[in-house]
Amino acid sequence: MAAILSLAEAVEEHLRDGDIIAMEGFTHLIPFAAGHEIIRQGRKRLTLIRMTPDLIYDQMIGMGCGEKVVFSWGGNPGVGSLHRFRDAHENGWPNKISIEEHSHAAMANAFDAGAAGLPFAAFRGYRGAELKRVNPNIKEITCPFTGEKLAAVPAIKLDVAVVHAQKADRKGNVLFEGIVGVQKQAVLAAKRSIVTVEEVVDTLAPHSPNAVILPGWTVSAVVHVPGGAHPSYAHGYYKRDNAFYKKWDAISRDRDSFRAWIGEHVLRKGPDAFAVHAKKAA
Amino acid sequence: MAAILSLAEAVEEHLRDGDIIAMEGFTHLIPFAAGHEIIRQGRKRLTLIRMTPDLIYDQMIGMGCGEKVVFSWGGNPGVGSLHRFRDAHENGWPNKISIEEHSHAAMANAFDAGAAGLPFAAFRGYRGAELKRVNPNIKEITCPFTGEKLAAVPAIKLDVAVVHAQKADRKGNVLFEGIVGVQKQAVLAAKRSIVTVEEVVDTLAPHSPNAVILPGWTVSAVVHVPGGAHPSYAHGYYKRDNAFYKKWDAISRDRDSFRAWIGEHVLRKGPDAFAVHAKKAA
Amino acid sequence: MSANYTPAEMMTVAAARALTNDDVCFVGIGAPSAACNLARLTHAPDIVLIYESGTIETKPNILPLSIGDGELCETALVTVSVPEMFRYWLQGGRITTGFLGGAQIDKFANLNTTVVGPYEKPEVRLPGGGGAPEIATSCGQIFITMSHKKRAFVEKIDFVTSLGHGLGGDDRAKHGVTTKGPTKVLTDLCILEPDPKSKELTVVSLHPGVTREQVIESTGWPIKFSDKLAETPAPTAAELKVLRDIQARTKAAHGEAA
Amino acid sequence: MSANYTPAEMMTVAAARALTNDDVCFVGIGAPSAACNLARLTHAPDIVLIYESGTIETKPNILPLSIGDGELCETALVTVSVPEMFRYWLQGGRITTGFLGGAQIDKFANLNTTVVGPYEKPEVRLPGGGGAPEIATSCGQIFITMSHKKRAFVEKIDFVTSLGHGLGGDDRAKHGVTTKGPTKVLTDLCILEPDPKSKELTVVSLHPGVTREQVIESTGWPIKFSDKLAETPAPTAAELKVLRDIQARTKAAHGEAA
């Protein structure tokens, strides 16, 4: 059964230097508060897996938490580049990071395979695509019945999955709703998992029998962090702060302005700072 | 967009002699009314795919609709044997049928692969199991990263999927709820599909954004057949008729009593006969 | 002796006692379902019961006749598709204990639920494996419940539907299987466990009033007994009451649609 | 001439017109999203729009800034997981038309959204492929929308992020791809289509007021023109109104959380 912890406790207990982690959420429910806590605790040499590194990894990379990034689309959605990601990858600031680049289909299949306990995923992908040339983790497999050649990638296996959800009950059962991305797969592909939530409730009911729910015994720690997905959003709670995504371009373009922003909004703040963004939608 | 047809029209238009079909529903939502219509229309030489052939295929096999059965568990749940299935397989009455036997895991993976447009499914299965010896459609595949050997089975590709659901709207969008089995996968693995439903409604709303819904453009025909899953059940509408499952043992044990039952309850009846079983649950 | 309980009840109670509050069980229909729910309603209130129909953390008030009864979904935390159940939950390695039974079992706890006689021309065609082949290899351990009869406990089974300990010793591992496999066989006469080295099933506990002779007589191979052979504690009044209550509720419910 | 519309609007309108009421579109952010929703709000009310975030049959009232904006889910028929989207829906072959764009395109409509310069030591590191590599091969056909600039329309792209017609002719099929690939490239100057045999992009229609010289000047290879070169009909007042209305609503909405 999941333990209900503070964010500091959850990260201290479950996330270590050098871990292979995924902090998922496909535009929706991105666990920013947890990312800030990881920065505050100064975690290092993490392998950071996310389909879209987004601002959360840009912030962590800029503060030196990362050693390797595994991703499929590395931009600031609708805005432009992830400047801290590029600065680390291209100039080694604050430290050199390596990249493993895939397509969305490859990573979605790799998360699915990880959740299913398989060693690899086979899919009809990368045909005529040059990533095959530069990524040794893209191989080929032949269908034993038709002879068709398919792409194969290793399953994603995580030390820790970190995700944000709408609700958990007191046993740590977690409900996701809306754009659910690969969060469930990430948790099921991980040895340990931290789930931040908008609300801790007595019961998740009423809900569809087929709702996207993770039982508490599949989750290591549940943390109550209202607003914890800002500047991404939480369906049914608050909207995406598109304006902040645009502002981030200027903040992150320059190393000093980035450091200043992190100092003010991360290092000198705590998870409670996110509460202001948590206003339940009508 | 799905056409809303009568059951006779739907079967006439979409289901032909010699087709490879799956009539799915894992104990729940088994499309019995459609099975009876197929018997009335005298379809022959069908390849009948179902994880659990259940009474629906026992009835169709006993009336000579089948040529081959692909399955993973061939009993009358909680009761005993499928006598018509065994009589056809063991004694060739009313005609000889061949079988292709798998495990549940293999068929569930094969339906998933069919829906995903893949030629095969790989899974950790059949280890030390003798079905590998007697079923040439069970092969081995090696993970290109770890060298682990996994089982492989061909994806299920269907001419027609026939399933039953709770609701469809007038555009033919279909909602499934409760034990959803492999129905969605079956429809997505098929060239054509017939979906019988308890209710046709103006809108499926309100429902979870993540409900199990098939868009109308993925379905060929929707047919309104209240009670059409009896003696199986429809979550939220009526319960499983366990007593009938027990009675079937005696009815089906003997060829004449079976024929008599079919004559009275199938050949001399129509889909309306199922309406009596459709009482909405409180 | 004439007990105030049946041998079948003793088997179910013994199976229930073998479960712990921390178990995540993959439950089959029949005796396993009765045993798992008896455990849940007695000493293991938090035990997680999963049925292959996709129902997770189900708490049925009546025992299902089929693996997909509505009761299982209505009382579950959540219900997933069958492909997800077999891919993410069973193959994903989340199940601690799986239950199996069969028409035939051999001394290494390999099971046959497929055919009596040759596969191509069976004397008796059984329902088949269903989930068994992968339950047998994916769950942390396997409990087997069967009625103890000579025609079921045989020297050689006609078809290996699901792997137990194979040919014994470390043969199971040779199939690339890393899970424990059958750790207990619970019958209406006794409890058997595989020998730590040879993996041959050995009687470790006789149910009250059952003699060695009965077990020898009911087993199709020269059955071994443990040096520290125990007697299974008889079902308690509390255990019997809970078991009989749920069975009475079940009987009533399954008649209802008649 | 001074038109009452911008070249970007002309491009979006031209892309919208190329869509039919029967299309099932895999939609990307930006111009494709504007074009698909313009089509939906004008001549193709039943067009099915799918975004890779898992939203199926979405009818956004404002254009998403990100591929996973809440608006997409709130107005969708249903939202599925991202693995399901890529496995059952895209790979499953259910998409008639996919939209792509890029930083670089070559004469065979291969696209680069990965790097300018060498991959290992890029001059400019672009966001990367995202869904493009499989969108390019799994959809029935591909429409490409790009601003027509010499630095984008290049003789040789630095990295083949997604396959168009490869080296031309039947090279695409040699990669085991059976879908049509790029059938139209819609720019702010003109509409290009691949030559039926050579698959080289050919200008088939110039937007009003655009000259051949402008297109030649803006293309990094000796661009070919169709013998039956047409002029693209200017956007109608109705088309412009619908497009500007949704863009105005979008602007308002995206400011709101500031």
Domains of chain A with bracketed CATH: 3-102+156-273 (3.40.1080.10), 115-154 (no CATH)
Contact A178 B209 (CB under 8 A): yes
**Chain C residue numbers touching A185 (CB-CB < 8 A):** 88
Nearest C-alpha in D relative to A277: D257
Query: C197: domain CATH number?
Result: 3.40.1080.10
- CB contact, 8 Å: B119 with chain D? no
What's the CA gap between D59 and D39, in Å, rounded? 11
User: Cβ(A240)–Cβ(D62) under 8 Å?
Assistant: no
When pLDDT is averaged across residues C184-197 and rounded to a whole number, the result is 98
Segment 35-54 of chain D within 8 Å of chain B by CB: 46, 48
Over 90: is that where the pLDDT of A50 sits?
yes
Categorize the per-residue pLDDT at A115 as very low, low, confident or very high, splitting at 50, 70 and 90: very high
Complex-level ipTM: 0.97
| Percent of chain D whose pLDDT exceeds 70 | 97
With touching defined as 3 or more inter-chain CB pairs under 8 Å, the answer for chains D and C is no
Q: Using a cut of 0.80, tell me whether the model's pTM lies above it.
A: yes
Average pLDDT over residues D60-86: 93
The residues of C annotated as belonging to the active site are 52
Chains in contact with B, where contact means 3 or more Cβ–Cβ distances below 8 Å, are A, C, D
Task: Give the residue-averaged pLDDT of C223-245.
Answer: 97
Taking residues A103-127, report their average pLDDT. 98
pLDDT grade, residue D255 (50/70/90)? Answer: low
Q: Are the Cβ atoms of B104 and C52 closer than 8 angstroms?
A: yes
**Closest CB from B74, B148, B179 relative to C53:** B179
Active-site residue list of D: 52
Q: In whole angstroms, how far apart are CA C176 and each of A13, B144, B150, D241?
A: 34, 17, 10, 66
Say yes or no to pLDDT of C8 above 80.
yes
Compute the nearest-CA separation of B154 from chain C (Å): 15
Residue in the structure block whose two tokens are 């087993």: C219
Contacts of A117 in chain C (CB under 8 A): 88, 91-93
Q: Do A129 and D53 touch (CB under 8 A)?
A: no
Residue spans of beta strands (DSSP E) within chain A? 3-4, 20-23, 46-49, 66-71, 75-76, 80-81, 98-101, 120-123, 139-142, 149-154, 158-169, 174-176, 190-201, 212-214, 221-224
Residue D258: inside a domain: no
Of B28, B72, B130, the CB nearest to C130: B72
Dist. CA C132–CA C109, nearest whole Å: 13
Question: pLDDT-derived band of residue D1, with 50, 70 and 90 as boundaries?
Answer: very low
Q: Does B118 touch chain A (CB under 8 A)?
A: yes
- Sequence-distant (6+) residues with CB within 8 A of A78 are A242, A245, D29, D30, D64, D65, D66
The answer to whether position D40 is within a domain reads yes
Average pLDDT of span C31-54 = 96
Q: Is D173 on the interface with B (CB under 8 A)?
A: no
Give all chains having 3 or more CB-to-CB distances under 8 Å with chain A. B, C, D
Cα–Cα distances (Å) from C123 to B89, B94, B98, D125, in that order, read 12, 19, 17, 69
Angle between helices A255-262 and A83-91 (to 10 degrees): 120
Task: Report residue A279's pLDDT band, with 50, 70 and 90 as the boundaries.
Answer: confident
What total of structural domains would you count in chain D? 1
d(CA D98, CA D27): 6
**Res A282: pLDDT:** 39
Chain B touched by D79 (CB under 8 Å): yes
Which of D69, D120, D133 is closest, CB to CB, to A103?
D133
Nearest to C66 among B51, B81, B240 (CB): B240
Interface of A with D in 144-163 (CB under 8 A): 148-149
Nearest Cα residue to D92 out of C244, B161, B218, A10? B218
In a domain? residue C165 = yes
- Between CA C186 and CA C21, with CA C183 as vertex, the angle to 5 degrees is 80
C171 CB-side CA count, 13 A? 14
Q: Which residues of C114-151 are buried (b: 16+ CB within 10 A; e: fewer)?
A: bbbeebeebeebbbbbbbbbbbbbbbbbbbbbbebeee
- Tens of pLDDT, residue by residue over D164-195, are 999 999 999 999 999 999 999 999 999 999 99
pLDDT at B215: 98
Average pLDDT over residues D29-51: 95
Nearest to D53 among A27, A134, A242 (CB): A27
Look over chain D and give the mean of its residue pLDDT values, rounded to a whole number: 95
Sites in chain B below the pLDDT cut of 70: 280-282
Q: Is D76 a member of any domain?
A: yes
Q: Please list the residues that pair with D105 across neighbouring strands.
A: D111, D153
Say if residue C90's pLDDT is above 60. Answer: yes
| Residue range A20-34: mean pLDDT, rounded | 97
* Residue D121 located in a structural domain: yes
User: Does B73 sit within 8 Å of C128, measured CB to CB?
Assistant: yes
Would you call A107 helix, strand, or coil by DSSP?
A: helix
| 1-30 of A, contacting C, C-beta below 8 A | 1
Residue C125 within any structural domain of the chain: yes
Considering the domain boundaries, does residue C128 fall inside one? yes
Query: Which chain D residue is nearest to residue B171, measuring alpha carbons?
Result: D46
User: How many whole angstroms separate alpha carbon D152 and alpha carbon D220?
Assistant: 8
| pLDDT mean across residues, chain C | 95
Domain that holds residue D147: 7-253
Substitution target from B109, B140, B145, B213 for chain A, most A beta carbons within 10 A: B145
